[in-house]
């Protein structure tokens, strides 16, 4: 079973940033209002996530580390209307199969649990005092999979990857206060008051945030909203475009293209906006079960959605020039 978990880990856990993503998504799924991410040495030393979410009941803790154990999906039908970020039940067993994990958790109603697992082998499981929420620490990443360890890029690159993930998670969840510390240095802190523009300012700087305009649009199937930069405040890379579907950050070339098309000739060649685009749709219109890390999704009526995005942006930018 540990071997199967390690194989799954190969798909879900590529690098420290994947661990941060999976753990923060778990915290978000647990309805946390505050999530603190504390990383040292680009995650190679340790990754710790503290949340104030629902916590896990003592009996459920060992189960959470079993493959395909998820509390989020009860039936086949649920798979077609996934609202939570997780649902495959793969993250915790995958992480635990290639690292050392200590989890302290409590639902707040009864005694909490301290659980330790290393390379898929349970080291200890005992009652512990804990406030409501979950505090998980991952160390010794890839200690038993040296090939994975060798594949990692420079510490700077790994840190950039983590920062990138944290930024998108924060942009997708402005109502959650997220902090990110690296080697005792604060990289990000969001207020968690639901104000997306303040999250944008925390990530891209206040002056960039000021050069962005709010937009929204809808048709029979989709509601879109967000902020996008004026044509004069653009970047030379499209990586400052973030697209979220129902609060899940996704990558989608067609939708990115549609957003850029909305600018028409107002965008100089090789220039791209800073944008945060939130799409709300009925979960039945999106299949998130395409990619193990769930970055890519399949959207029904994608062309129609692209049209809506392009039109909304075009009208909003035109308005600004009046
Ligand atoms: P998934 O997120 O796909 O359900 P995971 O392996 O990531 O699978 O997590 C397994 C289970 O552990 C979750 O379904 C959830 O019940 C529980 N869990 C994990 N992290 C947390 C957390 N931070 N707070 C509350 N419950 C958690
Ligand atoms: Mg998960």
CATH, domain range 211-320: 3.30.230.10
Query: How many angstroms separate the alpha carbon of residue 91 from the centre of ligand 2?
Result: 5
Q: Does 2-189 carry CATH code 3.30.565.10?
A: yes
Q: What is the pLDDT of residue 50?
A: 98
Q: Are 264 and 314 in contact (CB under 8 A)?
A: yes
C-beta 70 within 6 A of ligand 1: yes
Q: What is the pLDDT of residue 109?
A: 87
> Is the full-model pTM beyond 0.95?
no
C-beta 56 within 6 A of ligand 1: yes
pLDDT digits (tens, 9 = 90+) for 87-136: 667 899 999 999 999 999 999 988 999 999 999 999 999 999 879 999 99
Q: What is the pLDDT of residue 232?
A: 84
Q: In the chain, what are the domain boundaries? A: 2-189, 211-320
Query: How many angstroms separate the alpha carbon of residue 87 from the centre of ligand 2?
Result: 6
Q: How far apart are CA 276 and CA 292, in angstroms?
A: 24
When the pLDDT of each residue in the chain is averaged and rounded to a whole number, the result is 90
Distance set, CA 122 to CA 65, 99, 102, 126, 320 (Å): 10, 12, 10, 11, 59
Most confident among 66-80, 254-268, 292-306 (mean pLDDT): 254-268
196 vs 12, higher pLDDT: 196
Pairing of strands 241-245, 275-281: parallel
Q: Which atom of ligand 1 is nearest to the CA of 27?
A: 23
Best of 92, 136, 289 for a ligand 1 pocket test (most atoms within 8 Å of beta carbon): 92
79 vs 308, higher pLDDT: 308
Residue 132, SS3 per DSSP: coil
Q: Which atom of ligand 1 is nearest to the CA of 22?
A: 7
C-beta 112 within 6 A of ligand 1: no
pLDDT digits (tens, 9 = 90+) for 44-92: 999 999 999 999 999 999 999 987 766 665 655 555 555 667 666 789 9
Q: How confident is the model at residue 283 (pLDDT cuts 50, 70, 90)?
A: confident
Span 25-33, mean pLDDT? 96
Q: In the predicted model, is pLDDT for residue 214 greater than 80?
A: yes
Distance set, CA 36 to CA 81, 86, 181, 286 (Å): 29, 19, 8, 30
């Amino acid at each position: 079973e540990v071997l199967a978990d390690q194989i799954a880990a190969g798909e879900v856990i590529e690098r420290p940033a994947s661990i941060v993503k999976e753990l923060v998504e778990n915290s978000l799924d647990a309805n946390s209002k505050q999530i603190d991410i504390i990383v040292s040495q680009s995650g190679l030393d340790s990754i710790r996530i503290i949340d104030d979410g629902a916590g896990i009941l003592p009996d459920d803790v060992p189960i959470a580390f079993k493959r395909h154990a998820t509390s989020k999906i009860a039936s086949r039908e649920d798979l077609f209307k996934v609202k939570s970020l997780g649902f495959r039940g793969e993250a915790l067993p995958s992480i635990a199969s290639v690292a050392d994990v200590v989890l302290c958790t409590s639902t707040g109603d009864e005694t909490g649990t301290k659980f330790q697992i290393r390379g898929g082998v349970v080291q200890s499981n005992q009652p512990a005092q804990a406030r409501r929420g979950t505090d998980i620490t991952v160390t010794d990443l890839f200690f038993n999979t040296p090939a994975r360890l060798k594949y990692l890029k420079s510490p700077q690159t790994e840190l950039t990857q983590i920062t990138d993930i944290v930024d998108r998670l924060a942009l997708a969840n402005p109502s959650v206060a997220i902090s990110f510390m690296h080697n005792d240095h604060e990289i990000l802190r969001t207020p968690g008051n639901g104000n997306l523009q303040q999250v944008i300012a925390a990530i891209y700087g206040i002056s960039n945030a000021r050069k962005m305009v709010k937009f929204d649009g809808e048709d029979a199937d989709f509601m879109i909203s967000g902020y996008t930069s004026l044509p004069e405040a653009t970047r030379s890379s499209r990586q400052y475009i973030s697209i979220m579907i129902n609060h899940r950050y996704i990558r989608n070339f067609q939708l990115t293209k549609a957003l850029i098309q909305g600018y028409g000739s107002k965008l100089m060649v090789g220039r791209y906006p800073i944008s945060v685009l939130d799409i709300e749709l009925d979960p039945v219109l999106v299949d998130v079960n395409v990619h193990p890390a769930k970055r890519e999704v399949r959207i029904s009526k994608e062309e129609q959605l692209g049209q809506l995005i392009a039109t909304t942006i075009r009208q909003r930018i035109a308005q600004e020039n009046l």
